[in-house]
Amino acid sequence: MKELDITSKEKILNAARRVFIRNGSSGARMQEIADEAGINKALLHYYFKNKEGLFELVFNDAFSEFIPKIYNIFSGDGSVMEKIERYVETHLQLLINKPDLPMFVLNEMQREPERFFSGILSKMPGAPPFELFLKQIEEEMKDGKIRTMNPRDLWMNVMSMTVFPFIGEPMLKKFLLVNSEEYRILLTKRKESIMIFIKQAVLLPTPNNA
C-alpha cells in the first residue's frame, strides 16, 4: 500500500464528489463514478459499501473545511465589521476553488436538513458561536458603531451576497450579459465590492474607527 501518492480510495472520493455535484445524489451513477475515478465498479464497492455511504462521506467532506473556519472567525476577537470581512474573504476563497459546492450542499440540505446535524456540525467542539455574534452586533448598534437594523437581516445579506453568485451563475450570466471569463473576473473582485457595499450600508462615521 502506498502512503504518499494518491490512493485509489482518494481517487474514488474525488470522482464521487464531482459526479454527485454534477448529477445530484439520485442522478449520480456508481458506474460513472468508477469511470471518472479510472477504476472499476468492483473496486468501488470493495472500498465503499454503498452509494449512500459514499455520499455521506462526500457530503460531510464538503463542510470539513468550511465549518471549522466559520467557527474560528466568529468565536475570535475583532469588531463586527472585522469578522464580516474575514468571513467574506474566507468563504469567497473557498468557493472560488470549489464553485460547485454550495449548489450541491444547499440542494441536499434542503432535501434532508437533519443530515447537517448528524454530520460535521455535531462533531464540532463547543457551541456554535452564532449567538455571541448576534449579541455583539446588537451591542455595536447600541454603541452607535453600526447602523441599527435587525442583526439577522444583516447577517443574511452578508451571506447572500457572498454565496449566491456561485449558485445563480447561469442565470446571472444571462442577466448581466457576461461570458464565463468575464464572470470569473467579477468573482475575483467580489470581496472588495461586497465589503464596500456593506460598509456603506451599515457603518456609521464615528471618531473611533479605522
What number of other Cβ atoms are within 10 A of residue 207's Cβ?
4
Q: Residue 8 or residue 116: which is nearer to a second copy going by CB? A: 116
Q: Residue 28 or residue 39: which is nearer to a second copy going by CB? A: 28
The crossing angle, in degrees rounded to 10, of helices 130-142 and 80-97 is 140
Out of 103, 124, 136, 138, the only residue in the binding site for a second copy (CB under 8 A) is: 103
CB of 16 to a second copy, least distance (A): 16
Q: Which residue has the cell 464580516?
A: 84
Determine, following the binding rule CB under 8 A, whether residue 163 of this chain makes contact with a second copy.
yes
Stretch that binds a second copy, among 3-11, 52-60, 88-96, 190-198 (CB under 8 A): 190-198
Out of 49, 125, 170, 207, the only residue in the binding site for DNA (CB under 7 A) is: 49
CA distance 14 to 168: 24
Out of 43, 109, 124, 134, the only residue in the binding site for DNA (CB under 7 A) is: 43
Contacts to a second copy from residues 13-52, by CB under 8 A: 22-27
Residues 6+ apart with CB under 8 A from 79: 140, 145, 209
Q: Residue 8 or residue 99: which is nearer to a second copy going by CB? A: 99
Determine, following the binding rule CB under 8 A, whether residue 132 of this chain makes contact with a second copy.
no
Q: Are 198 and 192 in contact (CB under 8 A)?
A: no
Angle CA(122)–CA(123)–CA(128) in degrees, nearest 5? 60
The distance in angstroms from the start CA to the end CA of the chain is 55
Q: Residue 39 or residue 141: which is nearer to DNA going by CB? A: 39
